[in-house]
Amino acid sequence: MEDYSKLIASTLQISLQSVKNTLALLNEGSTIPFIARYRKESTGSLDEVEIADIQKEGKRLEELDKRKEAILKSIEEQGKLTEELRLKINATLQLNDLEDLYLPFKRKKKTKAGVARENGLEPLALSIYSQENGISPQEIAQTFLNENVSDINAALQGARDIIAEMVSEDINSRNLMRKIYTETAVVQAKVAKGKEEEGIKYKDYYEFSEPLSKCPSHRILAIRRAEEEGILRVMIVPTNEEMAIFELERVHIKKNNLAANEVKVAIKDSYERLLSPSIETEFRQLSKEKADIAAIDVFSDNLRQLLLSAPLGQKVVLGIDPGFRTGCKIVVLDASGELLENTTIYPNPPQNDSSGATKTLSHLIQKHNIEAIAIGNGTAGRESVDFCRTLPQPHPVSIFSVNEAGASIYSASEAARDEFPDQDLTVRGAISIGRRLMDPLAELVKIDPKSIGVGQYQHDVNQPKLKDSLDSVVASCVNSVGVNLNTASKHLLAYISGLGPTLAQNIVKYRTENGPFKARKELKKVPRMGEKAFEQSAGFLRIRQGEHPLDNTAVHPESYPIVEKMAKDLGCSVDELIKQSTIRKQIKVNQYVTEKVGIPTLNDIIKELNKPGLDPRGEAKAFSFTDGIHSINDLKTDMVLQGIVNNITNFGAFVDIGIKESGLVHVSQMANRFIKNPAEVVKLNQEVTVRIVEIDYARKRVQLSMKDVN
């Protein structure tokens, strides 16, 4: 652990003590949200990203050590492990360097060099490679002829095969090639013969070449996808391959004689047949990993913004899953999101029963005292919004267009069947749309994040890494907001620090059998809720009107005595301390510092007392698209429209402008200055004003600009 701490501290530029304490907490089973929120004194107030980096680097070093053990064992079994090699292996900190050291000892399939060695030609190869003056390769080769080596040319060819393998496995050769690839490699793509029509969407890459170091992640992923589909032929090669071979010769050519000439031939063969393909594969993988990380980062950032979208809150909502031929599915949800009633209306073509639809909706609005209408933004969404705006309203009702991406996935999921076993898919979809407006986070956690539609190339990236990243984002968001212990679903509770699916299910079951929780400490009565799980989870669970005033705050139960002492010192109750700012202003924080509790925790407590149970997400606001725009055919160049950002990528942002197709604002069209990352300018769900630059009616693509738009 000590060795890991020093290495991690050096790599991440974080203090040694912070790293040691963080690793200790992680090894004890503490979660990242818990450590970041409630153990600031131990970590030096590290945030979730820094703690996750420590965890990731620790795991990498553990895996590296395991690989070292396996390699040392393998070389030792071959009887080739020297003390010098053991020290080199143990000192290695990167997997590539470790594998380079192991390469000469790796058990290989039958190779040309292997056959040559079996034929007794290794001494000849070593003699030629030494390039000593006076050596005549032909004369020496004559002495190595046998039943498997028929003539001098065969002997020399075998020797060159061995030298080629030696060059390709030499750590200096490999590091040189990596340097050359890093500095000069280009990605080249050409369309495969006969695939021009089939791969038309990849037309931009039919004759493509770009320095690998400058090729953005989305382009790498697009090219790789096209290659896997058989549309493109792709290579990653140095700009000047002759120069690469020359640089290799500078490493291995020591003299200017006949033996050196043989080595030069072997070096060229080594580059073309062994070394270049190997390093190209390595850089293909490296570029893919980098592209994956960039794409996963974009997806994770988008998901975080989406999950933390402002909720409408606990209001009675009418949810609409819009449609044309099949009608609009209507649900009424109470303030807790429970289904009260459902029906279907047909205000849109082909039925056009606006009279019947008006009568039905007006009745429901009045009967249930509807406070807001949530309408899915898919097919017939814009038409349904316009229709609802014509409804006579006995009282003000806000109308919201809700992103319905993934609602159909939820409708057919086990979670939906579990919640609404007696309802069909369309009703479940409408419920999901309504609940998304009320609390996006609580509803979206039930859906596989990949189905939410806020990423780029999510099906092309490393799936385990994507899942880990997205799960971490969901957990971070859930814990940063906190959940209502008495209304949260098992799906939401499962993401709370220290819980998981089993404890979440147990909490819901206990709540059903015993009624609402009255205090956080009652959690200890839930089956399998041990002290550790309680410690990790309690601070993120809220109880409204609980027995203790702090149960509806982010103050951890372990800190209740501190707040109680503050109240006692000021001659008031905890409840009065929370409600009266004049009393709180009298608190002298430094008086409550102890060995375990420092200023960071005390400041968090004061902040929470000032705004107890505050939802950090803000409040949802209704948005109106530009009137008269329903389809791409209503658009014209230079038209200025209102829109909402519904996806962000590395190359730009997609904007919902009130039609089925989202328009693209390329990163170059976002501002009158250089923008490296679209996230510098826009956020998900941000309201923006855009101008139409170009419309491709055939491919249903709309190019937008945010530059010089009033």
- Rounded CA-CA distance 55/48 in Å is 10
Average pLDDT of the segment spanning 29-35: 96
Q: Give the pLDDT band of residue 47 (cuts 50, 70, 90).
A: very high
Based on its alpha-carbon atoms, the radius of gyration of the chain, rounded to whole angstroms, reads: 33
At 576-628, the pLDDT tens digits run: 999 999 999 999 999 999 988 999 999 999 999 998 877 788 888 888 888 88
User: What was the pLDDT predicted at 452?
Assistant: 80
pLDDT at 378: 86
Residue 2, pLDDT above cutoff 60: no
The pTM score is 0.85
- Residues 554-590: tens digit of each pLDDT: 999 999 999 999 999 999 999 999 999 999 999 999 9
User: Each residue of 655-680: pLDDT tens digit?
Assistant: 999 888 899 999 999 999 999 889 88
pLDDT, average across residues 36-53 = 96
How close are the terminal C-alpha atoms of the chain, in Å? 58
Q: What is the pLDDT of residue 621?
A: 85
Q: What local confidence, expressed as pLDDT, does residue 455 receive?
A: 72
* Per-residue buried b or exposed e for 597-627, using 16+ beta carbons within 10 Å of the residue's own CB: beeebbebbbebbeebbeeebeebeebebee
Q: All domains of the chain, ordered by start, with CATH?
A: 2-105 (1.10.10.650), 112-299 (1.10.3500.10), 317-438 (3.30.420.140), 501-610 (1.10.150.310), 632-705 (2.40.50.140)
Dist. CA 340–CA 320, nearest whole Å: 14
Share of the chain above pLDDT 90, in %: 81
Q: Is there a contact between 4 and 61 (Cβ–Cβ < 8 Å)?
A: yes
* Confidence (pLDDT) at 606: 94
Judged by average pLDDT, the poorest of 266-275, 341-350, 449-458 is 449-458
**What does the pLDDT look like over 250-287, one tens digit per residue?**
999 999 999 999 999 999 999 999 999 999 999 999 99
Q: What is the mean pLDDT of the chain?
A: 93
Confidence of residue 1 (pLDDT cuts 50, 70, 90): very low
377, with CB counted inside 10 A (0-12, 13-18, 19+), is buried
> Among 104-108, 128-132, 230-234, which stretch is predicted with the lowest mean pLDDT?
104-108
Cα distances from 227 to residues 191, 192, 201, 590, in angstroms, run 9, 9, 13, 63
Residue 341 above 90 pLDDT? Answer: yes
Instruction: Say how far apart CA 633 and CA 630 lie, in whole Å.
Output: 8
Q: Which of 87, 93, 88, 33 is nearest to 57 (CA)?
A: 93
